Amino acid sequence: MALEYDLLNENVKKCQYAVRGELYLRASELQKEGKKIIFTNVGNPHALGQKPLTFPRQVVALCQAPFLLDDPNVGMLFPADAIARAKHYLSLTSGGLGAYSDSRGLPGVRKEVAEFIQRHMFVVTVCFPHSDPELIFLTDGASKGVMQILNCVIRGEGDGILVPVPQYPLYSATISLLGGSLVPYYLDESENWGLDVNNLRQSVAQARSQGISVRAMVIINPGNPTGQCLSEANLKEILKFCYNEKLVLLGDEVYQQNIYQDERPFISSKKVLMDMGSPFSKGVQLVSFHTVSKGYWGECGQRGGYFEMTNIPPRVVEEIYKVASIALSPNVSAQIFMGLMVSPPKPGDISYDQFARESKGILESLRRRAKIMTDGFNSCKNVVCNFTEGAMYSFPQIRLPPGALQAAKQAGKVPDVFYCLKLLEATGISTVPGSGFGQKEGVFHLRTTILPAEEEMPEIMDSFKKFNDEFMAQYDNGFGYSRM
C-alpha cells in the first residue's frame, strides 16, 4: 500500500477536531438507525429549522439565473429592490457567478465591507483612518481566513499562538496542522469566563521559558464555546498587552450580531484600537474575522467570510495575497451574501419591512432560547452554567460524581465524552464534550448550541433534566463531586 497510516504527516495525525468527532459520528449512526437526533453539536442554524432571510436569497437566485432579469415576468416572482440589487452585484463581477473573481474577492464587495466597518466605527469617533478595501480579503468562510493567517505566522513548533481555553477547536486543529505550538490562557469560569490579563502574562512567560516564541493571540468575542462578551476596558487591556508583547491579535468576531444582553454590546477590536490612538493604533497588528455563517443570517452552507488586516506591512499583505491566489478565488455567490450582509435593505426599500421583521424575529427568539437554556441547565443537579451573553452556545459545567469518573475509566472514555455519549443514547441530544474545547483539569463541560427551535426547547430541556437526574442518581453515591 502506497500510503500507510504510519507514513502520514504527523501533524495531521496530531490534529483534533471534536465538533465533528466521535460524538457526531455516533449521532449520525443512530440517525441512520432511525433515532431522532437533535444536532446541537455545530452552530448550524438552518439545519435546525431556521429559515433563511428572504431578500438575500432572492438576490442570489437572480444572480444564479441572470437570464431571469431579461424575462418580462420576473416581477411576478421578485420584488424590484431584489432585481436592482442582483443587477448591482452582477455588475461588480467579471462574468457573473461563474467567473473566478480577484483572489481577494470582488473589489466592489470589499468596498462595501470597508464602508460597513467604517460606519460601525464612526458612531463614536469622527477622525480616524478609513477602512481600506485593499486590506480586506473575502474568504470561503472565516475558517479559511484563520488558516491563511496562521499559515503566514507559524514557521515551526518554536512559534506559539495564545489561544483561550476553552476555545473553538479550529484554532487547536489549525495550529497542529501547521506544526506550531498552542499556548493556552484560561478563561475564568467563576468570573463569567472573564479574560484576566495577568493570566496572559503568566502564559506568555511560561511559554517563553520553554523556548517558545509567542507570536500571536486569539480572542473570540463573543466567545465560542463560552458565550461571554468582552468589555471595552478589557479589550483595551488586551490590545495594550499585544502591543507590549509584540503579538498579532487575531480577533474572531464572527458572532458580532449575536448579543443577548444589553450591558455589554459588541464592540470591535478595531474600533477600540483606533480609539486608543498613538502609539497603539499604529503599533498593534490586528486581523479581524467575520462570516455569513453566524448572526441572524446563519448561511453556513454558503461558505462566505472576510478578514480585515490592520498595521500589516504591505509586503506581508502581498504574500498573503499570493497564497490566496493559489486557491484562485473564494466562491462568488458567498461574496454576494457578504455584500448583502454588510449592506442590508434600508428603511424605505420595498423589502425593508420583511427583512427587519425576519431578522428581529430570529434575534429575539435566540435571546429567549439563550435564557431558557441557561435556566434549564442551572435547574439540574450538579450542573452550573454561565449565561450566554452572546454567540450561539451554552457551555454548562457538569460536576461528575466519582462513580461516574470510575465508570468512564472502565469504559475507556474521557469522563465528559462518557457523559455526552450516555446523553446522546438516552435523549438523541448530540452535544460536544468540553474536552474538545479544552478545560481545566478535572472539570467537565459540554457544549450545546442554543439553536433548536424555540417551541422544542422546553421539551429538550425536560429530557436533558430527566437524563441528568437519572445519571446522577446512578453514579452519585454521596462521596462528593469532581472539583470545581
Partner 1 sequence: MRRFVIGQAKNLIDQTRRRPPQPHHHNNLRLLSLLRPPASDTTPVSSPRLFSSSSSDMSGSDSSTSSLPVTLDSINPKVLKCEYAVRGEIVSIAQRLQDDLKTNKDAYPFDEIIYCNIGNPQSLGQQPITFFREVLALCSHTALLDESATHGLFSSDSIDRAWKILDQIPGKATGAYSHSQGIKGLRDAIAAGIEARDGFPADPNDIFMTDGASPGVHMMMQLLISSEKDGILCPIPQYPLYSASIALHGGSLVPYYLDEASGWGLEISELKKQLEDAKSKGITVRALAVINPGNPTGQVLSEENQRDIVDFCKKEGLVLLADEVYQENVYVPDKKFHSFKKVARSMGYGEKDISLVSFQSISKGYYGECGKRGGYMEVTGFTSDVREQIYKVASVNLCSNISGQILASLVMSPPKPGDDSYDSYIAEKEGILSSLATRAKTLEEALNKLEGVTCNRAEGAMYLFPCINLPQKAIAAAEAAKTAPDAFYCKRLLNATGIVVVPGSGFRQVPGTWHFRCTILPQEDKIPAIVNRLTEFHKSFMDEFRD
Could you say which residues in the range 34-73 bind partner 1, by CB under 8 A? 42, 44-49, 52, 54, 57-58, 60-62, 64-68, 71, 73
**In the complex, minimum distance from the CB of residue 147 to partner 1, in angstroms, rounded to a whole number:** 8
d(C-alpha 180, C-alpha 145), whole Å = 17
d(C-alpha 13, C-alpha 222), whole Å = 30
**In the complex, minimum distance from the CB of residue 132 to partner 1, in angstroms, rounded to a whole number:** 9
Asked if residues 123 and 287 have their Cβ atoms less than 8 Å apart, the reply is: no
Neighbours of 122 (CB within 10 A): 12
Using CB under 8 A as the binding rule, the residues of this chain from 144 to 163 that contact partner 1 are 144, 147, 151-155
For partner 1, the closer CB: 188 or 319 = 319
For partner 1, the closer CB: 71 or 470 = 71
For partner 1, the closer CB: 291 or 382 = 291
**Is residue 479 part of the contact set for partner 1 (CB under 8 A)?**
no
**In the complex, minimum distance from the CB of residue 325 to partner 1, in angstroms, rounded to a whole number:** 4
d(C-alpha 447, C-alpha 439), whole Å = 12
At position 388, the amino acid (one-letter code) is T
CA dihedral 160, 163, 166, 169 (to 10 degrees): -80
For partner 1, the closer CB: 329 or 394 = 329
Using CB under 8 A as the binding rule, the residues of this chain from 99 to 128 that contact partner 1 are 99-101, 103
Element (H, E) at 416: helix 415-427
For partner 1, the closer CB: 162 or 380 = 162
Using CB under 8 A as the binding rule, the residues of this chain from 328 to 357 that contact partner 1 are 328-334
Q: Is 447 helix (H, G, I), strand (E, B) or coil?
A: strand
Residue from 69, 323, 405, 426 in contact with partner 1 (CB under 8 A): 323
With contacts defined by CB under 8 A, name the span among 315-323, 349-357, 460-468, 470-478 that binds partner 1: 315-323
d(C-alpha 179, C-alpha 294), whole Å = 29
**In the complex, minimum distance from the CB of residue 331 to partner 1, in angstroms, rounded to a whole number:** 4
Using CB under 8 A as the binding rule, the residues of this chain from 173 to 212 that contact partner 1 are 173-174, 177
Distances (CA, A) of 373 to 289, 424, 457, 462: 28, 17, 8, 11
**Is residue 98 part of the contact set for partner 1 (CB under 8 A)?**
yes
For partner 1, the closer CB: 338 or 383 = 338
User: What does the DSSP 8-state code read for residue 289?
Assistant: E
* Best CA proximity match to 268, nearest among 123, 107, 163: 123
**In the complex, minimum distance from the CB of residue 15 to partner 1, in angstroms, rounded to a whole number:** 7
Using CB under 8 A as the binding rule, the residues of this chain from 431 to 450 that contact partner 1 are none
For partner 1, the closer CB: 110 or 399 = 110
- In the shown chain, the binding pattern of residues 220 to 249 toward partner 1, with x for contact by CB under 8 A and - for none, equals --------------------------xxx-
Beta strand spans in 20-176 (E): 38-39, 136-139, 159-165
Locate cell 472565516: which residue?
Answer: 142
Locate cell 506591512: which residue?
Answer: 313
d(C-alpha 134, C-alpha 50), whole Å = 34
* Best CA proximity match to 251, nearest among 262, 274, 263: 274
With contacts defined by CB under 8 A, name the span among 111-119, 201-209, 319-327, 368-376 that binds partner 1: 319-327
Distances (CA, A) of 472 to 59, 358, 404, 406: 52, 41, 8, 13
Size of the site for partner 1 (CB under 8 A): 101
**Is residue 463 part of the contact set for partner 1 (CB under 8 A)?**
no
**Helical H segments across 217-266, by residue range:** 232-245
Residue from 69, 87, 88, 96 in contact with partner 1 (CB under 8 A): 96
Using CB under 8 A as the binding rule, the residues of this chain from 254 to 313 that contact partner 1 are 282-283, 285, 293, 298-303, 311-313
Residue from 115, 134, 358, 454 in contact with partner 1 (CB under 8 A): 134
Using CB under 8 A as the binding rule, the residues of this chain from 396 to 435 that contact partner 1 are none
Q: Would you list the DSSP string of 158-182?
A: TEEEEEEES--THHHHHHHHTT-EE
**In the complex, minimum distance from the CB of residue 188 to partner 1, in angstroms, rounded to a whole number:** 26
**Is residue 453 part of the contact set for partner 1 (CB under 8 A)?**
no
Neighbours of 32 (CB within 10 A): 9
Residue from 97, 220, 238, 373 in contact with partner 1 (CB under 8 A): 97
d(C-alpha 237, C-alpha 232), whole Å = 9
